Amino acid sequence: MAFSAPYCNKRARFFNIGVEDRVSSIEVGKDADFVIWNGDPFNLRSTVEATYIDGNKVYQK
C-alpha cells in the first residue's frame, strides 16, 4: 500500500513524540477527536453536525 507524503510525515511526527500507538488512525482503542460537517469545512455556509472528543460525542446539531 502506498501512502502520500503528508500521511507519512504525520506518522513520523507521532512516532518521534511516542504517541503513534494512540493516534494517527481511526481504530478501536485510539484517541479520536474529529468533527463531522454537512459540507466542505472551508465553505462559510457549512456547519458542524457533530463533534467527538476522545471518541465521545460532545456536540450534535
Q: In what order do the strands lie in the sheet with 56-60?
A: 34-37, 48-53, 56-60
Q: Using the 8-state DSSP alphabet, how is residue 28 labeled?
A: T
Residue appearing with cell numbers 503528508: 6
What are the DSSP E strand ranges found in 1-61?
34-37, 48-53, 56-60
35 Cβ neighbours under 8 A, 6+ residues apart: 41, 48, 50, 51, 52
Per-residue confidence (pLDDT) for residue 1, from 0 to 100: 45
Can you give the pLDDT at residue 5?
Answer: 46
Per-residue pLDDT of the chain (61 residues; tens, 9 = 90+): 444 445 456 667 777 777 777 776 677 777 778 899 999 999 999 999 999 988 789 999 9
pTM passes above 0.75: no
